[in-house]
């Protein structure tokens, strides 16, 4: 799971630095022309004027090339790590996608699996093993050769429990030993303890590390490498000089020389900068901003349709959390969680917050996922009266507009979210209003994103949290880190030594079954049951699935936004930019 972070774009591109090309040209042209006027006759002056104007044309051309060499957009939070094995949030995933080399890649447009660092692969031993033949003549960005030893090193690190890699969780299909067996520099077999369903597609998320480079994770195999990082401000990526890929005509990729990623929390500032021509694209656009942009520049606003991502909330059920025991009792009550779910008007959230660019969520899989969505699930219904009756049946009492538990405590909790995400703060306000109708007082805590992560992952000092889930692929294996009770990303009660409830134990078993089952019908049946359990137990209250909304400037060529992340820059190596206005 990746929490959809606050938006981060940093400082503007204006300020100190080289003069814009047009200004340089004007000043240079003026000084040269004055010199010629003073020192030449009329006829000579005419000839030299041609030379000067030719020089100015060359300067204009240079200005065009420079402008075309950089792609500019924003990250929405500060990446917590550049190590591709430890990434578990949106900004880190963006950096990984742009810089890390992978063995195979899921084409975000066709959803087909394509060769990358591996030219071929074969799954064997009933899904327990996979063999790769690697691309020859490939080097890391620092010149270190790429071999099977790097793949072995990467996967040994990934599968090491002490690494705590959420990416690695998808490969954990059973107890036992993992093996990485290089067979020469260009071939390797990876053997897992138990069969892993959909095994080959999981490698899309695994960035290969160098086993020998002194630069460690900063030596990369992707199209770009990190050149400069100004914490809280920007990250500059430059073209990887050793990138192996070429286009159909033989031209080396990527086309642009660099990508500037500004870090900006404020989406309004991001939109303003896009409209001023300072940014080339916005990967995900808020519905408000999308409608504003559509009204002014319809060609730049792209709605790719129903997306895979969802917004949701959960209650803190962790035994070690410092919250009051009586609150933990509420949060651990299935009746309480389901009643809260029934009291939330999802249709209103989709209509008001997302301007109709969203649909009420059924559960962990969007209906847009035609393969894995459980069609037997019932659509969520807004039922506040039924919610109140269910709470009273569970021992709560409603009087004078206030809900109290059986011990007389007023039912009141805080709902934490990242305040820089305007859509989430609006959702929180609407939930606050909805739950007030059944006597529950909600205090919205809009925090900066690092503080949200600190409370989620370290202190556990929160009541409930409103965030989002990013699905980067269609296969449920990519949600292993959400559903396994032992995972650090098991949001409501992470890192369980043993499942705390029978239904969590059943979900653990089902997720491991589907991950090791090669029969597609049996896999589907197992994951359908997971979706049923989530609907019944409501450990996470899914609210809406958002449409995939992006913005692409008219100066950008070859961009083709899609539903799967990263929507707008999934083909960044082939994107080009035209000359920008100065």
Sign for the CA dihedral angle at 447, 450, 455, 456 comes to: positive
Tokens of 360: 């009420």
Nearest to 544 by CA among 348, 293, 262: 348
Q: Where are the alpha helices (DSSP H) in 258-368?
A: 267-275, 287-296, 325-331, 334-342, 346-348
Tokens of 336: 């309480």
pLDDT of residue 150: 98
pLDDT of residue 61: 39
Tokens of 118: 């591996």
**pLDDT of 347-398, one tens digit each?**
999 999 999 999 999 999 998 887 899 999 998 999 999 999 999 999 999 9
Which pTM value belongs to this model? 0.67
pLDDT of residue 455: 96
Please say if the pLDDT value at position 44 is more than 50: no
Of the pLDDT bands very low, low, confident and very high (cuts 50, 70, 90), residue 472 is: low
Beta pairing, strands 234-239 & 258-263? antiparallel
In this prediction, residues 31-41 reach a mean pLDDT of 33
Tokens of 111: 């959803």
pLDDT of residue 367: 86
Please say if the pLDDT value at position 55 is more than 50: no
Place of tokens 């420079």: 66
Cα–Cα dist 319/315, whole Å: 12
Of the pLDDT bands very low, low, confident and very high (cuts 50, 70, 90), residue 52 is: very low
Q: Tabulate helix, strand, coil % of the chain (nearest 5).
A: 35, 20, 40
pLDDT of residue 386: 97
Of the pLDDT bands very low, low, confident and very high (cuts 50, 70, 90), residue 579 is: low
Please say if the pLDDT value at position 131 is more than 70: yes
**Residues 34, 37, 41: CA angle, nearest 5 degrees:** 165
- Residue 116 exposed, middle or buried by CB count within 10 Å (0-12, 13-18, 19+): buried
pLDDT of residue 344: 98
Cα–Cα dist 499/558, whole Å: 48
Tally of CB atoms within 10 A around 432 = 15
Cα–Cα dist 195/104, whole Å: 19
**pLDDT of 68-116, one tens digit each?**
489 999 999 999 999 999 998 899 999 999 999 999 999 988 888 999 9
Tally of CB atoms within 10 A around 314 = 20
pLDDT of residue 360: 94
Mutual orientation of helices 520-537 and 502-516 as an angle, nearest 10°? 160
**pLDDT of 157-195, one tens digit each?**
999 999 999 899 889 877 889 999 999 999 999 999 988
Of the pLDDT bands very low, low, confident and very high (cuts 50, 70, 90), residue 306 is: confident
pLDDT of residue 580: 57
- Greater confidence (224 vs 519) lies with 224
Q: Which of 52-56, 160-164, 257-261 has the lowest mean pLDDT?
A: 52-56
> Can you point out the beta strands (E) in 136-198?
179-182, 187-191
CA dist list (Å): 541 to 315, 337, 345, 491, 510: 9, 8, 12, 12, 20
Tally of CB atoms within 10 A around 294 = 17
Cα–Cα dist 155/146, whole Å: 15
What value does the mean pLDDT of the chain take? Answer: 87
Please say if the pLDDT value at position 411 is more than 60: yes
Of the pLDDT bands very low, low, confident and very high (cuts 50, 70, 90), residue 66 is: very low
**pLDDT of 520-537, one tens digit each?**
899 999 999 999 999 999
pLDDT of residue 10: 32
Q: Which helix (H) or strand (E) holds 305?
A: strand 301-315
The 8-class DSSP code of residue 581 comes to P
The 8-class DSSP code of residue 116 comes to S
In this prediction, residues 280-302 reach a mean pLDDT of 93
CA dist list (Å): 484 to 23, 378, 474, 500, 505: 59, 24, 18, 12, 9
Contact (CB, 8 A) for 281 and 260: no
Contact (CB, 8 A) for 172 and 109: no
Tokens of 265: 């929390």
Phi, psi angles (nearest 5°) of residue 411: -80, 105
Cα–Cα dist 269/493, whole Å: 36
In this prediction, residues 406-422 reach a mean pLDDT of 95
Of the pLDDT bands very low, low, confident and very high (cuts 50, 70, 90), residue 400 is: very high
pLDDT of residue 46: 40
Nearest to 204 by CA among 475, 535, 569: 475
CA 272 to chain centre: 23
**Residues 235, 158, 236: CA angle, nearest 5 degrees:** 10
First to last CA, the chain: 41
pLDDT of residue 165: 92
Please say if the pLDDT value at position 451 is more than 90: yes
Please say if the pLDDT value at position 22 is more than 50: no
Nearest to 267 by CA among 253, 251, 287, 297: 287
Place of tokens 């990263």: 566
Beta pairing, strands 70-75 & 258-263? parallel
Of the pLDDT bands very low, low, confident and very high (cuts 50, 70, 90), residue 465 is: very high
Please say if the pLDDT value at position 23 is more than 70: no
């Amino acid at each position: 799971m990746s929490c959809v972070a606050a938006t981060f774009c940093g400082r503007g591109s204006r300020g100190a630095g080289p003069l814009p090309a047009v200004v340089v040209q004007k000043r240079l042209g003026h000084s040269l022309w004055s010199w010629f006027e003073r020192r030449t006759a009329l006829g000579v002056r005419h000839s030299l004027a041609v030379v000067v104007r030719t020089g100015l044309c060359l300067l204009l051309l240079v200005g065009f090339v420079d402008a075309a060499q950089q792609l500019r957009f924003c990250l929405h939070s500060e990446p917590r790590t550049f190590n591709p094995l430890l990434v578990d949030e949106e900004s880190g995933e963006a950096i990984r996608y742009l810089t890390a080399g992978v063995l195979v890649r899921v084409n975000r447009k066709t959803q087909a699996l394509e060769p990358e660092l591996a030219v071929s692969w074969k799954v064997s031993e009933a899904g327990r093993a996979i063999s790769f033949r690697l691309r020859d003549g490939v080097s890391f960005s620092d010149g270190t050769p790429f071999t099977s030893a790097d793949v072995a090193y990467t996967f040994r690190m990934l599968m090491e429990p002490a690494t705590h890699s959420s990416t690695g969780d998808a490969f954990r299909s059973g107890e036992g030993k993992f093996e990485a067996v290089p067979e020469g520099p260009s071939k390797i077999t990876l053997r897992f303890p138990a069969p892993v369903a959909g095994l080959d597609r999981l490698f899309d998320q695994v960035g290969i590390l160098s086993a020998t480079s002194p630069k460690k994770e900063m030596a990369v195999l992707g199209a770009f490498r990190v050149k400069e990082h100004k914490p809280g401000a920007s990250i500059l990526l430059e073209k990887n000089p050793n990138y192996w890929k070429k286009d159909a005509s033989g031209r080396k990729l990527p086309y642009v020389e660099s990508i500037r990623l500004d870090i900006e929390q404020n989406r309004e500032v991001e939109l303003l900068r896009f409209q001023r021509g300072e940014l080339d694209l916005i990967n995900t656009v808020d519905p408000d901003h999308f409608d504003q942009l559509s009204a002014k520049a319809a060609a730049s606003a792209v709605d790719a349709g129903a997306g895979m991502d969802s917004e949701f909330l959960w209650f803190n059920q962790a035994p070690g959390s410092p919250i009051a025991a009586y609150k933990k009792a509420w949060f651990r009550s299935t009746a309480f969680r389901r009643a809260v779910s029934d009291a939330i008007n999802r249709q209103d959230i989709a209509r008001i917050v997302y301007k109709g660019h969203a649909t009420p969520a059924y559960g962990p899989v969007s209906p847009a996922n035609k393969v894995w969505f459980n069609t037997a699930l019932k659509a969520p219904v807004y039922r506040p009266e039924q919610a109140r009756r269910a709470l009273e049946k569970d021992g709560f009492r409603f009087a004078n507009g206030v809900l109290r538990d059986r011990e007389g405590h007023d039912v009141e909790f805080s709902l934490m979210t990242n305040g820089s995400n305007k859509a989430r703060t609006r959702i929180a306000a609407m939930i606050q209003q909805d739950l007030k109708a059944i006597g529950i007082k909600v205090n919205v805590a809009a925090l900066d994103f690092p503080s949200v992560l600190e409370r989620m992952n370290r202190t556990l000092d929160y009541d409930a949290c409103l965030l989002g889930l990013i699905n980067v692929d269609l296969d449920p294996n990519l949600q292993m880190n959400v559903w396994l009770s032992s995972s650090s990303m098991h949001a409501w009660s992470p890192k369980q030594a043993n499942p705390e409830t029978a239904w969590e134990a059943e979900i653990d078993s089902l997720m491991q079954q589907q991950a090791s089952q090669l029969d597609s019908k049996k896999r589907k049946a197992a994951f359908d049951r997971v979706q049923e359990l989530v609907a019944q137990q409501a450990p996470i209250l899914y609210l809406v699935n958002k449409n995939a909304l992006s913005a692409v400037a008219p100066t950008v060529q070859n961009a083709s936004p899609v539903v799967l992340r990263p929507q707008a820059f999934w083909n960044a190596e082939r994107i080009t930019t035209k000359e920008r206005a100065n």
